[in-house]
């Protein structure tokens, strides 16, 4: 059902592009009612307009907190045009219909980003705007609601097409967008309060997200996918793509996994190689080139088509090394001019600058069919108070640093996880297995294939305890000299006895790092 627009109400915080609407309104003799700030803008642009306070006969009060909250406004929006009782009541009150509502909200989102002043933030929680939007969206059979300046062009086309009116299909679509906006807006406010009050798990949890990009497909070609940003800055992800094809669902999955691990490593130049959201090479060295080579050497077969993340700037030498291999994505804290030229020769290589990336969210969410679970991020590496050497032989300071490195990497490998490390570089990784014994075998197998000379005297880290001695026997027989694990098995003493018998060092962390 098409409806003519006789009266339109405009109340916008962001007044950009309203001149394009005013032209079409004048063409079709649409009367305009607006709030004080918008009224002044419209008058300056040379168009006729009625100020809300004059329209309602009630002046704005409480510093503008009350201006559109008036029966004449909301009755004009909410009444059913086909309901005789509604019509009689409107006629009795001499309230005209409002056929088009154009509203955008106080910039709460922007204020939160740039201010820590709670009073200022609360003052920018819009009340009248969302109330009008919800009213108009509910009554979409009779009213059109526009909440985004990007929809002005669509509205103009709709009015031209319908000679001064709107179609039911258009109004219903805009209604769905409007309810999406009010839910998003309220969700941001609720989350701000939760953060302010340190409420990690509120009784009702709402997640807000703005669609950043529609992806070609999901994990597989037959699946649909989009990426959303859940942040008050919902226009960017914190990194910039400098080259290559558009990022896919799987690319993003690997990118976030690599950034998660990269952000946990402090100090020296570090290189992370991720494949299917699993680390397959990690190295830390004062020389970035050595760090890159060592990370790649851990498992060059798995690194094929992977994602590389670096916490340093890529120079010409490293760029030349990168181009020797097939990679999907490279992330780094900047690129030299020569390095970027070299890397861009590979047209499909996705190059991302993460110089400005910062971790913001400290929770992890997993969705299921009709439910989701939330937990704090696993941010602990080692708690020195819980760290306990359980063998006769004790590690020195350098070995403790190596233990910390290996155990940290272990946290990001899919469980059950075993990480072998030598001189702050992984040499074998086994993960994602239902059996810890199989993960031990895979880690050793990988190390023997690519880094056999480095197995002797290496460190092995396990994300959870060893239920039986069989796992550590495989590691010891291969040449492992230090094992770090959480402990907590009923077989712990048996495992400690085996470690002492083999003259290796073993430490219990008291911390489990499952990553499913």
The residues assigned a catalytic role are: 138, 276
Q: Which residue carries 């063998």 as its tokens?
A: 391
Short-list 7, 1, 3, 50, CA closest to 29: 7
Contact present, 50 and 31 (Cβ < 8 Å): yes
Q: How many residues does the chain have?
A: 516
Structure tokens at 277: 């959201």
From residue 4, alpha-carbon distances to 147, 160, 274, 330, 494 in Å are: 20, 11, 58, 55, 84
Sign of torsion, CA 162 167 170 174?
positive
- What is the Cβ-side half-sphere exposure of residue 135, based on CA atoms within 13 angstroms? 26
Measured in Å, how far apart are the chain's first and last C-alpha atoms?
A: 52
Render 277-315 in DSSP notation, one character per residue.
Answer: TEEEEEEEESSHHHHHHHHHHH-HHHHTTEEEEESS-B-
Tell me phi and psi for residue 227, to 5 degrees.
-110, 135
Residues 53 and 220: their CA atoms lie apart, in Å, by 56
Residues 344 and 244: their CA atoms lie apart, in Å, by 8
**Secondary structure (H, E, C), 116-178:** CCHHHHHHCCCCHHHHHHHHHHHCCCCCEEECCHHHHHHHHHHHHHCCCEECHHHHHHHHHHH
Short-list 27, 46, 41, CA closest to 102: 41
Residues 226 and 222: their CA atoms lie apart, in Å, by 14
Q: What is the dihedral of CA 293, 297, 303, 304, to 10 degrees?
A: 90
Q: How many CB atoms lie within 10 A of CB 470?
A: 14
Structure tokens at 66: 């009350």
Contact present, 279 and 272 (Cβ < 8 Å): yes
Q: How many CB atoms lie within 10 A of CB 35?
A: 22
């Amino acid at each position: 059902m098409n409806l003519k627009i006789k009266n339109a109400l405009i109340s916008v915080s962001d007044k950009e592009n309203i001149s394009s609407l005013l032209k079409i309104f004048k063409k079709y003799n649409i009367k305009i009612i607006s709030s004080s700030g918008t009224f002044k803008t419209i008058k300056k642009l040379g168009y006729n307009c009625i100020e809300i306070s004059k329209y309602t006969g009630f002046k704005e009060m409480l510093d503008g907190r009350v201006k559109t909250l008036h029966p004449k406004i909301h009755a004009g929006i909410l009444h059913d045009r086909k309901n005789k009782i509604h019509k009689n009541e409107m006629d009795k009150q001499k309230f005209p219909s409002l056929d088009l509502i154009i509203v955008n909200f106080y910039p709460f989102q922007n204020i939160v980003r740039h201010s820590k002043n709670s009073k200022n933030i609360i003052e920018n929680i819009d009340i009248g705007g969302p109330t009008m939007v919800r009213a108009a969206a509910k009554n979409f059979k009779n009213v059109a609601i526009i909440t985004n300046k990007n929809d002005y062009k669509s509205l103009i086309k709709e009015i031209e097409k319908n000679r001064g009116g709107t179609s039911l299909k258009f109004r219903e679509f805009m209604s769905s967008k409007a309810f999406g906006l009010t839910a998003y807006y309220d969700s941001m406010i609720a989350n701000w309060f939760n953060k302010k009050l340190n409420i990690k798990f509120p009784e009702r949890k709402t997640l807000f997200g703005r669609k950043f990009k529609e992806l070609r497909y999901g994990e597989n070609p037959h699946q649909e996918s989009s990426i959303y940003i859940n942040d008050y800055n919902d226009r960017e992800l914190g990194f910039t793509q400098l080259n290559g094809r558009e990022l896919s669902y799987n690319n993003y999955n690997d990118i976030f996994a690599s950034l998660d691990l990269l952000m946990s490593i402090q100090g020296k130049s570090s290189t992370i190689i991720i494949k299917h959201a699993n680390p397959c090479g990690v190295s830390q060295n004062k020389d970035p080139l050595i760090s890159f080579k060592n990370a790649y050497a851990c498992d060059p077969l798995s690194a094929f088509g992977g994602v590389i993340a670096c916490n340093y700037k890529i120079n010409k030498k490293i760029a030349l090394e990168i181009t020797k291999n097939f990679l999907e994505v490279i992330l780094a804290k900047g690129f030299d001019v020569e390095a970027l030229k070299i890397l861009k020769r590979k047209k499909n290589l996705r190059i991302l600058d993460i110089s400005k990336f910062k971790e913001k969210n400290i929770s992890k969410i997993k969705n299921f069919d009709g439910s989701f679970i939330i937990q704090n991020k696993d941010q602990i590496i080692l708690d020195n108070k819980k760290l306990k050497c359980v063998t006769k032989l004790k590690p020195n300071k350098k070995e403790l640093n190596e233990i910390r490195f290996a155990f940290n990497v272990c946290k990001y490998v899919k469980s059950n996880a075993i990480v072998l490390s030598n001189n702050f570089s992984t040499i074998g990784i086994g993960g994602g297995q239902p059996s810890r014994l199989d993960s031990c075998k895979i880690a050793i197998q990988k190390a023997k294939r690519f880094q056999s000379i480095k197995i002797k005297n290496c460190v092995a880290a396990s994300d959870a305890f060893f239920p039986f001695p069989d796992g550590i026997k495989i590691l010891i027989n291969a040449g492992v000299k230090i094992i770090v694990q959480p402990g907590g098995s009923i077989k712990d003493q048996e495992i400690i006895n085996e470690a002492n018998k083999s003259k290796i060092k073993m430490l219990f962390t008291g911390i489990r790092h499952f990553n499913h």
